[in-house]
């Protein structure tokens, strides 16, 4: 009997025997860009060099200029060829949040806060303190023509279209034009750990709950609690993609309003979330969702292709901040570098990749099988490599069945694979592993099934 796999839909960490044939039980650095085929993820280039040992924040001014704060205490902007220092002497551990706002300022400013240093603003040439801003303010954002921040469990807003006036009204008649604040009370007394602005509401997160503020002016503001069961890990761990908020808590959730958040779409990658450590962040390039998780001593990125509903696993990028500028995605990493996603290499180094299939069985797991022939059809550019392995167990006892190093570009090339080791097995798994660009169109094999015994 001939079996073919021509659809590759990302990873699924549920029971390997029960998942569909189209899923991988494990994968690294492959993506669904050319779905239903499988291809190597994009690489990255490094902007400038290493600065300090960690990026503390990324911001974008007017969608045209990239800014970064590094843990050497500097705020810098990228001028296209190098990093220009705009401020120094900043706290070396607190993480930054940025937003754009004009209000009563002469031009749109990039406003930044970290909860330790005074809230600051960049006016197109220099960085300076934002006068009148609350001390200790963090998670700066803009909503309904005001700046917003959190101090402890207090939510604070600037006066209407005023960046430097946060004072409450001295006359009740001036309420709607003045600064405003409220305390977000919860039974556990947690502090606010995230604020995210939408088109018609402001979402206020705590570690174990989240809340929404509706209205356009203080006289009609209303804070509603969505749930006391789910919060967010940190302010970086929430992002909006195509009008839907995605955030990381005990699972990866999506929330479109009108009902409780749902997590069914991320069930297949819950295993990664269960192992997350200190660092996490979410980002988007406008098409895909990126969830970066510290697992062990390294960062793993879960890329969610919303159109194909596929989760792909990336490694080799230590992402702790994301920023989108135009159609480009920028990454701040744990090594003090800012990366621009794109290209076919990791800053000149080939990208390693891996696909591990589910265990393939006969119709009954009481039967044994053997594979008599196997073929893999791929595009493999010159210099790329690919190895094919087979295993009859769930252990790491892979046997090399075929290897190829492309001396010239191979287009939809059918590669025969030796299968003599795949006999008298309860099940058989295959692993494709290599370096460099690849597109995998089909894996095919001929399987013989022995009677029940």
For 224-235, what is each residue's pLDDT tens digit?
A: 999 999 999 999
**What does pLDDT average to over the chain?**
96
pLDDT at residue number 212: 96
Does the structure show a pLDDT above 90 at 421? no
- Cα dist from 106 to 2, 63, 102, 225, whole Å: 70, 18, 7, 37
- Measured CA to CA, the distance from residue 169 to residue 178 in angstroms comes to 5
- Measured CA to CA, the distance from residue 55 to residue 324 in angstroms comes to 16
If you average pLDDT over residues 114-132, what whole number do you get? Answer: 98
Does the structure show a pLDDT above 80 at 258? no
Q: Please name the residue that has the structure tokens 């990454």.
A: 331
pLDDT band (50, 70, 90) for residue 379 = very high
For 278-297, what is each residue's pLDDT tens digit?
A: 999 999 999 999 999 999 99
Does the structure show a pLDDT above 80 at 404? yes
Q: Please name the residue that has the structure tokens 């009859």.
A: 392
pLDDT at residue number 452: 82
For 144-172, what is each residue's pLDDT tens digit?
A: 999 999 999 999 999 999 999 999 998 88
- Cα dist from 296 to 50, 299, 353, whole Å: 23, 8, 19
**Ramachandran angles phi, psi of 219, nearest 5°:** -70, -20
pLDDT at residue number 420: 86
Q: Are strands 222-227 and 238-241 parallel, antiparallel or unpaired?
A: unpaired
For 171-224, what is each residue's pLDDT tens digit?
A: 888 899 999 999 999 999 999 999 999 889 999 999 999 999 999 999 999 999
pLDDT at residue number 173: 82
Give residue 411's Cα distance to chain centre. Answer: 32
Map the chain to HEC letters.
CEEEECCCCEECCCCCCCCCCCCEEEEECEECCCCCCEEECCCEEEECCCCCCCEEEEEEECCCEEEEEECCCEEEEECCCCEEEEECCCCCCCCCEEEEECCCCCCCEEEEECCCCCCEEECCCCEEECCCCCCCCEEEEEECCEEEEEECCEEEECCCCCCCCCCCCCCHHHHHHCCEEEECCCCCCCCCCEEEECCCEEEEEECCEEEEEECCCHHHCEEEEEECCCCCCCCCCEEEECCEEEEECCCEEEECCCCCCECHHHHHHHHHHHCEEEEEEEEECCCEEEEEEEECCEEEEEEEECCCCEEEEEECCCEEEEEEECCEEEEEECCCCEEEECCCCECCECCEEEEEECCECCCCCCCCEEEEEEEEEEEECCCCEEEEEEECCCCCCCEEEEEEECCCCEEEEEEEECCCCCCCECCEEEEEEEECCCEEEEEEEEEEECCCC
pLDDT band (50, 70, 90) for residue 259 = confident
pLDDT at residue number 174: 87
pLDDT at residue number 381: 96
- Ordered by where they begin, the domains of the chain are 2-41+353-449 (2.60.120.260), 44-349 (2.130.10.10)
What pTM value is reported for the model? 0.96
- Measured CA to CA, the distance from residue 90 to residue 41 in angstroms comes to 36
pLDDT at residue number 423: 85
Q: Please name the residue that has the structure tokens 């094999």.
A: 445
Does the structure show a pLDDT above 80 at 453? no
pLDDT at residue number 25: 98
pLDDT at residue number 170: 84
Look at residues 251, 284, 290 and name the one whose alpha carbon lies nearest to residue 268.
Answer: 251
pLDDT band (50, 70, 90) for residue 55 = very high
Residues with Cβ < 8 Å from 207, sequence gap 6 or more? 190, 193, 231, 232, 233
Share of the chain above pLDDT 90, in %: 93
């Amino acid at each position: 009997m001939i079996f073919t796999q021509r659809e590759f839909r990302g990873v699924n960490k549920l029971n390997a025997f029960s998942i569909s044939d189209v899923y991988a039980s494990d994968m690294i650095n492959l993506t669904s860009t050319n779905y239903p085929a499988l291809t190597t993820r994009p690489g990255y280039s490094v902007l400038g060099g290493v600065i300090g040992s960690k990026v503390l924040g990324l911001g974008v001014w007017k969608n045209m200029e990239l800014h970064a704060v590094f843990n050497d205490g500097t705020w810098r902007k990228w001028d296209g060829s190098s990093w220009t220092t705009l401020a120094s002497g900043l706290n070396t551990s607190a993480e930054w949040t940025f937003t754009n706002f004009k209000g009563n300022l002469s031009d749109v400013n990039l406003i930044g806060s970290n909860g330790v240093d005074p809230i600051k603003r960049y006016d197109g040439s220099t960085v300076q303190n934002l006068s009148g801003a609350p001390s200790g303010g963090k998670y700066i954002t803009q909503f309904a023509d005001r700046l917003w921040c959190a101090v402890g469990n207090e939510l604070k807003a600037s006066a209407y279209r005023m960046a430097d006036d946060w004072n409450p009204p001295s006359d009740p008649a001036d309420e709607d034009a003045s600064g405003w604040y409220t305390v977000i009370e919860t039974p556990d007394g947690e502090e606010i750990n995230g604020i995210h602005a939408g088109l018609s509401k402001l979402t206020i997160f705590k570690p174990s709950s989240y809340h929404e503020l509706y209205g356009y002016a203080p006289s009609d503001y209303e804070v509603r609690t969505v749930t006391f069961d789910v919060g967010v890990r940190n302010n970086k761990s929430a992002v909006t993609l195509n009008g839907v908020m995605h955030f990381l808590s005990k699972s990866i959730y999506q929330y479109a309003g009108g009902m409780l958040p749902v997590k069914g779409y991320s069930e297949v990658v819950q295993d990664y979330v269960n192992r997350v450590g200190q660092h996490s962040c979410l980002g988007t390039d406008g098409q895909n969702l990126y969830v970066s998780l510290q697992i062990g001593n390294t960062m793993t990125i879960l890329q969610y292709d919303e159109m194909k509903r596929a989760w792909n696993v990336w490694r080799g990028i230590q992402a702790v901040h994301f920023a989108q500028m135009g159609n480009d995605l920028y990454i701040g990493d744990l090594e003090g570098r800012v990366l621009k996603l794109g290209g076919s290499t990791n800053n000149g180094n080939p990208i390693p990749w891996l696909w591990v299939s589910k265990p393939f069985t006969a119709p009954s797991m009481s039967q044994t099988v053997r594979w008599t022939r196997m073929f893999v059809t791929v595009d493999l550019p010159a210099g790329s490599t690919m190895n094919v392995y087979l295993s009859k167990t769930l252990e790491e006892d892979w046997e090399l069945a075929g290897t190829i190093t492309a001396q010239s570009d191979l287009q939809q090339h059918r590669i025969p694979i030796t299968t003599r080791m795949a006999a008298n097995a309860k099940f058989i798994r295959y692993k494709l592993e290599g370096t460099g660009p690849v597109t995998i169109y089909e894996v095919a094999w001929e399987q013989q099934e022995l009677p029940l015994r």
